[in-house]
Each structure stands twice: as C-alpha cells, then as structure tokens.
Amino acid sequence: MKNLFKIFTVLIIVVISVVSCQDYLDVPVNGQIIQDNFYNTDDEANAAILTAYDVLTWNMVWDWVAPVLVKTLPSDESTAGGANFEDQLDYNTLDDYVYDEANAKISGFWALNYFGIYRANAVLDFVEGDTDTKARIRGEALGLRAYYYLELVSMYGDLPLLTTTLITPEEYDRPRSSTSEVYAQIESDLNAAIAALPNRSEYSGSDLFRLTKGAAMGLLAKAQVFQEKYSEAASTVQSIVDSGEYVLEEDFGSIFGLDGEFGSGSMLEAVFTNTESVAWGTEPWARPKEWETNVHIQLMGPREGAFGGESAGNNLREGWGFNYPSPKLYNAYIDAGDEERRLATVISEQEWIDGGGDFSGDAHDYNGFIRVKYGSKLTENSTEEGSAAQLSYTTNWRLLRYADVLLIGAEGAANSGNESQAREFLNMVRNRAGLDDSTASGGDLIDAIINERFLELAFEGFRFHDMVRWGRAADNFDGFQSGKHELFPIPAQELLKAESLTQNPGW
C-alpha cells in the first residue's frame, strides 16, 4: 500500500508539472515565416522593403489598375478606348466622367497605395536602424510612404492616416485626417528620408531603383507646391539642382526606351522585369502579385485588328487599344513647334501608316492619333523563348523625373515672385527639347509653365491633378463638374466597412 501511495504521489507531481507547464503549448508553426522572427538581418529588411516597392507594380492585383492610367484618363490628354465602352468599363467611365463611387479603378488605386503604405509601415515598425543598410532601408520606407500618401492626398483629399501596421480589429474603422495633417506627415517623412538616404551617385547600378536623397527632395518640392508653399518648393528644387546629381538627358526621345531606364534625369521608377517570363497559358492570373512584366503596355497599344499588326518605322505594334491621345495634345505640340517631344509622345495616323502600319476601319474612342510615350514598342519586350511578346513588355513607369521637378520649381518660383529663377528652371526643360528660352513673365509665365508641363509630362499621370489645383479643370475637361470632380469619391465599399469615413463633396 505504501508503494501505491508513492506511485500516486509521483503521478500527481508529474501530472501537475505537465498540466501547469505553459511552455507545453509553444509548438513551432512550420512552413510560415512568422513576423516576430523576421526583419532582423539586412537581407530580411531588404526583402521587406522590396515588397513596399513592388506594390508600385501591382497593376493586376485589383484587376487592371495602373495608377498612371487611372490618373491620366480623367485628363484631356487621352481617351480610354478598348474594344468598346464595356471593355474595361471602369477605365471608360473614368475617361467620360460617368464614373461613380463603385468604380473599380478608383477603389483599386486607393487600395494599391494603401497596401504600399502598409508595407512601408511594416519596415518602419519592425526593422531597426542598427546597421547602415537597415538605416537606409528605413529611409526608403519613409520616402515610399510619403510617395504613396502624396498619390492619395492629391486624388482623394482628406485621408485615413495610418503610420503603423499594428492595427487591432477595433481600429479598422477610423476617420479621415485633414489634407493638411496628411501633408504634414508627408513632409515629416520626406525630411527624415532626406536625412537618411544616400545620393543617387552613391548607389551602385543595381540599386538605382531605390529612393534617393534627391528623389525625396523632389517629392518634397511637389508636396510643397501642392500646398502652395511656393518659395519653399523653389528653394528645395534649387538644392536639387545645386547637388549636381541630376542632368536632363540630351535626347528626350531616349528617356522612355529601355535604354533610358534610370537615365541621368530619372529620379524614381517602378521596375518591371521579365525575370519570370510569361507565355499564353502561363499567365499568373491567380497570383497577380507575381506578374513581373508590364501588361498595361500591351493594354495601351493601338487596338489589334484595327491597326494591322505593327508600324515598324515607328517601332510600334498593336495592342488592346487603350489610352489614345487627344487631338488637343497633338495640336499643342504643333502650336509649340515642339517636334522632338511630339515624336516621342504622339504621332498621327498618317505617320503610323507611313511607318508601315495600317488602319482599317474604326476603333472605339480613337481620334486619329497614336501614342508613342509608353507605347507598345517592338523592341521593348522579351524575345526569349517561352515569353509571349504581348505579355512581356518590361517598360518601367517613370514616377519622378528631373524635368517634372524643375517645372515644379519654376511654378514655385513664379508664384513666389522669383521670375528669373522660374524662367531658369523652365528654360532648362525647354532647351533640352530644342526650344528657345521663354522670356514670359506674370500670368504669361504661369501659362508657359502650365503648357510646358502639358508637353513634357503627357501620359505620365500629372495633368489631371495639376489642372485641378490650377483651377482650370472645369474649362478643359469635358464632363468635369466643379465642386465634385476635383477629388475622386471615397470608394463605396470603404464607406460600408468604415462608418467613420465621410464622402467627398458632390458624391
């Protein structure tokens, strides 16, 4: 009996120790990278920041949503196109100002930028700046977060302002912060990024896609102009010029080719590659984050069937017919005598045909002109075996160019009374395009800068917001209603999910 009680006592002790042992439930979760175990090494930090960049190219994740196209279509640069109005309906409604709060491009553009912000926030939450590389990566994350917020604030106004990923379900609903609060965050992030980031010249060639001190300053200048902090913007741009880090490419036509990627005037690009080649039948429709090529270039080629294959003389082939240039844009180049930039931006139907192309019949939304900038160029897709030409364009989106920043500087200077500085910035851009110096002043100078942005930056997604902030949208955009269309509507689904959100005026 004593033995039995001994056994019993031992059993009780063992049982109590096992049952009360908290560690018993700590079982490794195999096959998943747990956040708590990640973000430690330089390589892990790098993989994390790459995701924050990658979102710039997630143009297929919310169906077809390329920010540059979403921002371009409401402007007077182009028409939507496609097979018909129903083809990519939400791109078409955007173009014709018949879009509503449920427009999938508007909600996709919103989501894309916020997904970018989340990934930048993840780096800022979890990567410590304890090595040079990690400190720089934190700077990149600050710059990227500012970039994404700048995209959002210029299109939607007041925004939910999130600066961390540590969100509990109770915090899923939050109100919008005012535009000025958002800009304050953008400026603060950019100033921190400027301090943390190297100059472009300090990066090796394979790192040129990263945010630089100069890019952060360029974004800051834009944010300043958007807030009408004109003199600050002018001085920011002057610092970029003085740094000597950027030089306008001599030949405007070379900028948008593959050879022009990360050229001397390039400040930020969204990078597409053919590392994972795509063929018909192997498209990653189900894994859209894994699209590595720029399929929108194919989407935006002249409509197949209508344009007869290719126009070799113009280095263009047909695509799916979106984003046709407007006659107004074409005429602006003619009026300005700006052939160098026109030929790199827009050609006429006759030029297409002269280059060996064909045009047989009608194409939806087509107005007689064919786009060259971001065109479906014969030489810009992979010729590798296993790659479909139409699916393997790798054209980078040029997100920030020195010329853009110079014109922002000109606008800042002109509006803050420093006209000579304004003309200096303006003429740098004009001269590169082979145009004479402008001597305009006063209102003419402002008009000259505005027209210069039209010619220099066509199809790069800036025109709509520029015209809105200049108060010229209603006069120039067919269908634009003042008091409503200045801002995109907050996506309808977001209002349903977050009750504290408010809708923009007019919606």
Does 177 engage in binding with another protein (CB under 8 A)?
Answer: no
Instruction: Return the C-alpha torsion angle 227, 154, 343, 371, nearest 10.
Output: -170
Is 506 in contact with 484 (CB distance < 8 Å)? yes
Return the SS3 of 398: strand
Does 470 engage in binding with another protein (CB under 8 A)?
Answer: no
Does 258 engage in binding with another protein (CB under 8 A)?
Answer: no
Q: Which is nearer to another protein, 31 or 483 (CB)?
A: 31
Of 69, 70, 106, 122, which lies in the binding site for another protein, with binding defined by CB under 8 A?
122
What is the spatial distance between Cα 208 and Cα 212, in angstroms, rounded to a whole number?
8
Q: What is the separation, in whole angstroms, between the first and last Cα of the chain?
A: 85
C-alpha R_g of the chain: 26
Q: How far is the CB of 106 from another protein (least distance, A)?
A: 11
Does 246 engage in binding with another protein (CB under 8 A)?
Answer: no
Is 73 in contact with 316 (CB distance < 8 Å)? no
Encoded amino acid at 365, one letter: D
Q: How far is the CB of 370 from another protein (least distance, A)?
A: 30
Q: Which helix (H) or strand (E) holds 332?
A: helix 327-336
Does 425 engage in binding with another protein (CB under 8 A)?
Answer: no
Of 76, 90, 292, 466, which lies in the binding site for another protein, with binding defined by CB under 8 A?
292
- Cα-Cα-Cα-Cα dihedral sign, residues 131, 133, 134, 139: positive
Tell which positions 33-72 bind another protein, by CB under 8 A: 33-36, 38, 44, 46-48, 50-51, 53-54, 57
Q: Which is nearer to another protein, 52 or 458 (CB)?
A: 52
Scanning 212-220, 289-297, 331-339, 450-458 for contacts with another protein by CB under 8 A, the matching segment is 289-297
Tell which positions 304-343 bind another protein, by CB under 8 A: none
Return the SS3 of 62: coil
Scanning 91-99, 267-275, 311-319, 421-429 for contacts with another protein by CB under 8 A, the matching segment is 267-275
Does 501 engage in binding with another protein (CB under 8 A)?
Answer: yes
Is 210 in contact with 381 (CB distance < 8 Å)? no
Of 86, 130, 172, 478, which lies in the binding site for another protein, with binding defined by CB under 8 A?
172
Does 117 engage in binding with another protein (CB under 8 A)?
Answer: yes
The pair of structure tokens assigned to 448 is: 């000259």
Q: How far is the CB of 308 from another protein (least distance, A)?
A: 30
What is the spatial distance between Cα 76 and Cα 31, in angstroms, rounded to a whole number?
51
For 461, other C-beta atoms within 10 Å of its C-beta total 22
Tell which positions 134-153 bind another protein, by CB under 8 A: none
Of 66, 150, 153, 162, which lies in the binding site for another protein, with binding defined by CB under 8 A?
162
Q: How far is the CB of 494 from another protein (least distance, A)?
A: 5
For 324, other C-beta atoms within 10 Å of its C-beta total 25
Q: Which is nearer to another protein, 56 or 449 (CB)?
A: 56
Does 29 engage in binding with another protein (CB under 8 A)?
Answer: yes
What is the spatial distance between Cα 435 and Cα 115, in angstroms, rounded to a whole number?
41
Does 6 engage in binding with another protein (CB under 8 A)?
Answer: no
Q: How far is the CB of 154 from another protein (least distance, A)?
A: 16
Is 374 in contact with 260 (CB distance < 8 Å)? no
Count residues contacting another protein (CB under 8 A)? 71
Q: Which is nearer to another protein, 3 or 420 (CB)?
A: 3
Please tell me the number of Cα atoms within 13 Å of 28 on its side-chain side: 5
Q: How far is the CB of 121 from another protein (least distance, A)?
A: 7
The pair of structure tokens assigned to 371 is: 């786009």
What is the spatial distance between Cα 127 and Cα 241, in angstroms, rounded to a whole number?
32
What is the spatial distance between Cα 397 and Cα 147, in angstroms, rounded to a whole number?
14
Q: How far is the CB of 450 from another protein (least distance, A)?
A: 32
Instruction: Return the C-alpha torsion angle 142, 146, 147, 153, nearest 10.
Output: 160
Does 469 engage in binding with another protein (CB under 8 A)?
Answer: no
Tell which positions 362-421 bind another protein, by CB under 8 A: none
Q: Where are the alpha helices (DSSP H) in 127-160?
A: 132-156
Binding track, positions 90-109, relative to another protein; x by CB under 8 A: -----------------x--
Does 209 engage in binding with another protein (CB under 8 A)?
Answer: yes
Crossing angle of helices 132-156 and 213-226, rounded to 10°: 20
Does 15 engage in binding with another protein (CB under 8 A)?
Answer: yes
Does 494 engage in binding with another protein (CB under 8 A)?
Answer: yes
Does 349 engage in binding with another protein (CB under 8 A)?
Answer: no
Scanning 195-203, 239-247, 318-326, 490-498 for contacts with another protein by CB under 8 A, the matching segment is 490-498
What is the spatial distance between Cα 124 and Cα 120, in angstroms, rounded to a whole number?
6
Scanning 4-12, 65-73, 76-84, 410-418 for contacts with another protein by CB under 8 A, the matching segment is 4-12
Does 18 engage in binding with another protein (CB under 8 A)?
Answer: yes
Of 179, 191, 243, 273, which lies in the binding site for another protein, with binding defined by CB under 8 A?
273
Does 25 engage in binding with another protein (CB under 8 A)?
Answer: yes
Q: Which helix (H) or strand (E) holds 316?
A: strand 316-317
- Closest to 430 in 3D by CA, of 466, 457, 408, 456: 456
Q: How far is the CB of 432 from another protein (least distance, A)?
A: 28
Scanning 157-165, 219-227, 251-259, 309-317 for contacts with another protein by CB under 8 A, the matching segment is 157-165
Q: Which are the contacts of 503, defined by CB distance < 8 A and separation ≥ 6?
A: 101, 489, 490, 495
